[in-house]
Amino acid sequence: MPTMSAWSALAWRSSLRRLAIGAVAGALVSLVCGLGANQPELAQTAKPADAPLTCATCHAGVAASYSHAGMRHALESPGANPVLETHPKLRYQIGQYSYTVETKSGQSTYTVSVGTDSLTLPIRWMFGQHSQTWVLEKDGNMYESLVSYFHENESLGETPGDDYATPHNLTEAIGRKLDTTKINRCFNCHATNAVDGVKVTLDKLTPGLDCNRCHEGAQQHMADAAHDNFATLPRKLRTMNSEDAANFCGQCHRTWDTVVRNGWKGIPDVRFQPYRLELSKCFTGNDRRTSCLACHDPHQQVNHNAGYYDSKCLACHAPQKASNMAGSSTTSAATKTCPVAKANCVTCHMPKVQPPGIHATFTDHMIRIAKAGEPYPY
Amino acid sequence: MPMPERFHPSLTEKSLGILLLFALLPVIPTSTVAQEQPAKFEDLAARAAAAREQENLPLAIELYGQAEQLKPDWPEGWFYLGLLQYLSDRFPPAIDAFNHLLALQPNSPAVMALRGICEFETAAYDDALRDLDQAVKGGAANEPHNEPIIRIHYAELLAHAGRFQPALIQYRTLASKQVDDPDMRLGVGLAGMQSTTLPEDVSSEDRELYTAVGNAGCAFLSDDSQTADTLFSKLFAQYPTTPELHFFYGTLLSMRGAELAIPQFQSEVAIAPNNVQAHALLAFWLMFAGRFAEARPEAELAVAAAPNMEVARVTLARSLAETGDVERAAELLNQVIKNDPDNLEAHLGLAAVYARSGRREDAYHERMVCLGLEK
C-alpha cells in the first residue's frame, strides 16, 4: 500500500483542488489515499469548490462502493426499506399470537394480536439490510421484535435468541424489552453517532455505519484536510494484522475473548465470525493472510462466489508459495496443499451452517478439513 | 450484644421453624420411637409435642430435654430442642442440640443453616460462616420462606470476612426476587462500601450513609437502573469526597458493561489515589473494553503497589501484549498461570501473546485451554 508523507500529501491536496476545478476525473485519488487502495477504480466525483466537504469528496470510489455495502445499511429508518415495500403484508403465528407487518405509503407497522385484542406499533428502526429485525417503542420502552423478516425464505420467523421467550400478554408478545445497555450495544453496532460515551443519543444518529464509525478521527481529518493539513490521518485499518483485525471487526461481530468469556457455545456461534476464525488452526495473529480483511472488503458487498476466495486460500496453500509471503512474519509453518481440489476451497473448508430456528445460512469461518457428518465443532 | 429486632421470636421465626420441620420430616425416622423405646419415653415425647403445639416453649424444652436423656439418638427430639431454644433466644443450648442432631444426620442443610444462625447470634462468626456456606451450597436457601433469613445472615458474614463480591451476589439473589428488608439494604450498603462492620455494629452517624448507599445498590440489584442512577447521583453530590462510593457503583455497572463501569473507577481513583484495588479494576475494565494503552499505566501502578494482586498482573500482562511488549507479557502471564492454572484471563492473554508473536500452534493450544476453562 502506498504511504504518504505529510509533504507529498500537502502537494497532492493542492493538486486536487486544481483537478476539481477543472472537473478532471480523479482516479489518482484512490491510488494515493490509503483507504482507496485495492479498490476498483471508480470515477472521482468532482464537486464545486464551495460544496461541503465529505469523505466522498476525496474518496469517491470507496464511498460509491460502500453506499451499497451491508454495513452501510445495518440500520434503516422508516421510508427507506425496499424489503418491506416489496413485501407489503407479512404474517406469522407464534402460539396464540398473530403477527402482521404491513407497509403502506412508506410506513410500516407491526401488529400483534391475540383473540380480539391487538396492538399496533409503528416500526421505528429496521436492523439489517436483507434479513431484518425491528426495534419498536411503547410507553417509552424499546422492544426488539419477537419476529423478524428472513431474506432466505422471504417470510417472517422468530427472532434469533428470542425463540425461548414465551409471551404472557400482548406487551410481552411485542418482543424482548431492551434495557439501556442493550439499546446502547444494538445501536452502537448498527448506526453511527448513536452513542456518546455511555449515553444513547438516538436523536443524533446516522442509520448504518458511516465512515467515521470505523475510521476514528475521520471528521478531524476532513476538517484538517480542508486546510491542507494531512497530519491527522486516521489509522490505516488495512495494515492491521490478523489479531488486531479480528478484535476490531469483533467489536460488533464478536471477538474470541467475548465469546469465551461469556461461555457461548454451539451452532448459534457461527454468527460470530472473528471468534470462529480464531478457532482455525491456520489462524496466525501476525499474518495478514488470515485477517478478516484478507478476504473481505467492508466497503463492498459480500462476495458470494466461492471461487472469489480461492486466491485468498492459495496465498498460503499454493505449493509454490509455501511461506515468506508479503505480510507474513511466519517463516516456519509448512503449509499444506489440498489433495482434493484446487478451486472453490471454501465449499469444503468453510461449510455453510444453518443454526436451528434461524432461517438464514452462515459460513462457518473456522477453516478446517470438514468431514461429512461430523458434529459442529465447539 | 443487643439483639436486632428480627432475631427475636416472631411469627417469621416460627414459620421458619415450621417450614424447616417440614423439610426435615422425611429424614427423621420417627417410627423407631414407637418400636424401640419404653413407655416413659413415649409419654415424654407426646407431652413435649403437646407443649410445643400449645406454644408453651419452656415446658416443651424441658420435656424434649428429658426425652433426649432417655434416648439420645432421637433426631426429632434434638431438632425441636434446638429449634425451641433458638426461638427462646437461648442460642448456646440450641447449638448444642443441633450439634447432636448433625452428629446423627450430618447431611441436613436446613439444620446446618439453623445452627449457623445460632452461631451468628453468639458471635461465633467463623463457625457461622462455615455452616451457612455449607447450608446454602446444600440447598437450604432454596426454600422461598427461609431464603431471606439464611441469605441475609450469610451475606453479612461474607462481608464481615471481607468477601464483598460474594456477599453482593447473595444480596442480588434476594433483590432480583424483589425481597425488600431494611437489614438487607444496610448490608448492601456495607458490602458495597467494602466495610467489614456488621449491621448491628454500625454507629448511628454512619447508618444514614450506609442505608442510602444500600438503597441505591438495592435499586440496581433489583434491575431498577433508572432509580439506582438517580440515587447514586444524589449520593455523589452529597458525599463528593467519600471513598468507595464510585467504586461500588462501578462494580455494579460492570455487570452491564465495561464502558459503563470505567468512568466510576476513574472517579474513584481521583478521590482516592491510593486505592490500589480501584486502580486494578479500572485497568481491568479498560482492558476488557480493549483500551489497552489506557489500561497499561493503571495496571503498572497497581502491580507496583500490590505485586501479588492477580487481577492487576493479568491486566498488566494483557495490556503489555496488546501494546507491544509481548516478552514481558508472556513472562507475567506464565507466572500467573503457574500459581493459578485455571485463570481464564491469563490463558486468553497468553493466546493473544502467542498469536501476535506468530506462534500459531502455541496460540491454538492456549485457545483450546480457554475453551476447556470457560464457564
Interface check B22 vs A, CB under 8 A: no
Q: Between residues B19 and A31, which one has the greater pLDDT?
A: B19
Is A334 part of any domain? yes
Whether A162 and A80 share a structural domain: yes
Contacts of A199 (CB under 8 A, 6+ apart): none
Q: What is the pLDDT of residue B167?
A: 97
* A79 plus A66 within the same structural domain: no
State whether A163 and A100 are in the same domain.
yes
Q: Smallest Cα–Cα separation from A162: which of A139, A178, A183, A151? A: A178
Q: Residues A13, A49: contact at Cβ < 8 Å?
A: no
Does the residue A265 lie in any domain?
A: yes
Q: Assess if residue A16 is contained within a domain.
A: yes
**How big, in percent rounded to 5, are the helix, strand and coil portions of chain B?**
75, 0, 25
Indicate the residue type of B46: A
* ipTM of predicted complex: 0.79
Higher pLDDT among residues A335 and B317, named by residue = B317
Distance between B345 CA and the closest CA of chain A, angstroms = 8
**Banded pLDDT at B96 (limits 50, 70, 90):** very high
Q: Is residue A278 part of a domain?
A: yes
- Does A246 share its domain with A299? yes
- Indicate the pLDDT class of residue A49, thresholds 50, 70 and 90: low
Q: Which amino acid is at B310?
A: E
For residue A199, what is the nearest residue in chain B, using CA coordinates? B260
Whether residue A156 sits in one domain with residue A83: yes
pLDDT at B53 over 50: yes
Chain A partners within 8 Å of B374 (Cβ): 260-261, 263, 265
Are the Cβ atoms of A286 and B259 closer than 8 angstroms? no
pLDDT per residue as tens digits for the range B346-360: 999 999 999 999 999
Q: Could you tell me if A49 and A105 lie in one domain? A: no
At A29, the pLDDT band (50, 70, 90 cuts) reads: very low
Domain assignment of residue A283, yes or no = yes
SS (H, E, C) A112-177: EEECCEEEEEECCEEECCCCEEEEEEECCEEEEECEEEECCCCEEEECCCCCCCCCCCHHHHHEEE
- Does pLDDT of A12 surpass 50? no
pLDDT at A9: 31
A269 vs B: CB within 8 A: no
Tell me how many residue pairs between chain A and chain B have CB atoms under 8 A apart: 69
* DSSP single-letter state for residue A47: -
Query: What tens digit of pLDDT does each residue of B234-274 get?
Result: 999 999 999 999 999 999 999 888 988 999 999 999 999 99
Contact with chain B for residue A368, Cβ under 8 A:
no
Whether residue B76 is predicted with pLDDT greater than 50 in this model: the reply is yes
Domains delineated in chain B: 1-142 (1.25.40.10), 162-194+206-273 (no CATH), 276-375 (1.25.40.10)
CB-CB contact of B290 with A251 (8 Å) = yes
Domain count of the fold of chain A: 3
Phi, psi of A67 (to 5 degrees): -60, -20
Residue A37 structural domain: 6-71+221-233
A199–chain B Cβ distance below 8 A for any pair: no
Half-sphere exposure of B161 (CA within 13 A, CB side): 21
What are phi and psi for residue A320, nearest 5 degrees? -80, -5
Q: How distant, in Å, are the alpha carbons of A14, A32, A63, A232, B354 from that of A17? A: 5, 15, 19, 19, 47
Residues 272-301 of A with CB under 8 A from B: 278-279, 281-287
**Cross-chain Cβ contact B355/A278 below 8 Å:** yes
Cα A293 to Cα A243, A257, B358, distances in angstroms: 11, 19, 18
Taking the CA atoms of chain B, what radius of gyration do you get in angstroms?
26
| Mean pLDDT along residues A52-67 | 91
Whether pLDDT at A21 is above 60 = no
Q: What is the mean pLDDT of residues B74-80?
A: 95
Same domain, yes or no, for A110 and A28? no
Instruction: State the nearest Cα–Cα gap between A207 and chain B, in angstroms.
Output: 22
Q: What pLDDT sits at residue B214?
A: 97
Q: Does A188 touch chain B if contact means CB atoms closer than 8 Å? A: no
Asked, for residue A34, whether it belongs to a domain, the answer is: yes
State the cell numbers at B81: 430442642
Q: What is the pLDDT of residues A252-298, one digit of tens each?
A: 999 999 999 999 989 999 999 999 999 999 999 999 999 999 999 99
Burial (CB < 10 A; 0-12, 13-18, 19+), residue B175, is buried
Based on the domain organization, do A248 and A358 belong to the same domain?
yes
For A151-163, letters b (16+ CB in 10 Å) and e give eeeeebbbbbebe
Given A251, A257, A263, which is nearest B375 (Cβ)? Answer: A263
Give domain status of residue A188, yes or no.
Answer: no
Could you write out the DSSP letters of every residue in A10-26? HHHHHHHHHHHHTT---
Same domain flag for A246 and A303: yes
B259: which chain A residues are within 8 Å (Cβ-Cβ)? 197-198
Same domain membership, residue A318 and residue A330: yes
Question: CA separation (Å) from A346 to A269, A280, A287, A352, A353?
Answer: 19, 13, 19, 9, 13
The amino acid at residue A159 is T
SS3 A101: strand
Mean pLDDT score across all residues of chain B: 89
Sorting pLDDT into bands at 50, 70 and 90, what band is B37?
A: low
Here the contacts of B29-36 (C-beta below 8 Å, separation 24 or greater) are B29/B75, B30/B76, B32/B74, B33/B71, B33/B74, B33/B76
Looking at the complex, report in whole angstroms how far the Cα of residue B347 sits from the nearest Cα belonging to chain A: 10
Task: Indicate the pTM of the whole model.
Answer: 0.76
Query: How many CB atoms lie under 10 A from the CB of residue A171?
Result: 15
Question: Which candidate in A248, A249, A261 is best for mutational testing of the B interface (most B CBs within 10 A)?
Answer: A261
Q: Are residues A246 and A312 in the same domain?
A: yes
CA–CA dist A101, A148 (Å, integer): 10
Contact A346, A307 (CB under 8 A): no
Does a structural domain hold residue A250? yes
Same domain for A254 and A335, yes or no, is yes
* CA distances to B144, B239, B282, B289 from B260, in Å: 33, 21, 11, 10
Q: What is the mean pLDDT of residues B1-25?
A: 39
